[in-house]
Amino acid sequence: MLRRLYDYVMTLAARPRAAWALALVAFAESSFFPIPPDVMLVPMVLAKRTKAWAYATICTIASILGGAAGYLIGWIFFATLGQGILNFYGLTTQFDSFAGRYNDYGAWIVLFAGLTPFPFEVITIASGATGLNFWVFMLASLIARSGRFFMVAGLLYLFGPPIRDFIEKRLVLVTTVFLVLLFGGFLAVKFML
């Protein structure tokens, strides 16, 4: 079953409209969707290595725009719903303390989360909710997301055939490691925030 899914994704990755789907997934992952765009970026670069840099650029731009949308979600919904909930439970002072600590290290948090499998949408929404400076957030997002996507695309461009062989021979292992990293990111969210 896993092999059929992999073959299907590789076929989809070679299609002309795959770039639009990649942009949509990268945008959604930065604002509300928990699946990272790497699940599309990797097969797309493996299918068409000559487009590695274009795909990394698409991922970066869409992710930055999605991050701005996530920031806006945190800012708008905190102002309308979040503040009322905090007031009801008497947690306004605790949130103010959390927001202050978050903003002290906000650029570093965004950089770390943007480079790792940590769910980036959590960081974008938290940045808006805590009022992290928008331009600091955007600059840190640009550095982290472009670094991540161009690194992945570059490695696949340089070492594509051996990586593809490795993935195809050890598909279950690669899938397991990916799922562990994704699950680990959600556990990190639970214990860090």
Residue ranges of the chain whose pLDDT lies below 50: 193
Give how many domains the chain has, as a whole number. Answer: 1
Residue 156's domain comprises: 2-192
User: Tens digits of per-residue pLDDT, 67-106?
Assistant: 999 999 989 988 787 777 667 667 677 777 778 888 888 8
Output the six-digit token pair for 173: 């292992």
Considering all CA atoms of the chain, what is the largest pairwise distance in Å, rounded to the nearest integer?
57
Query: 120, 88, 96, 108: which is closest to 186 by C-alpha?
Result: 120
- What is the rounded average pLDDT for all residues in the chain? 81
Residue 64, pLDDT score: 97
Residue 53, pLDDT score: 96
Output the six-digit token pair for 193: 């925030």
Residue 78, pLDDT score: 84
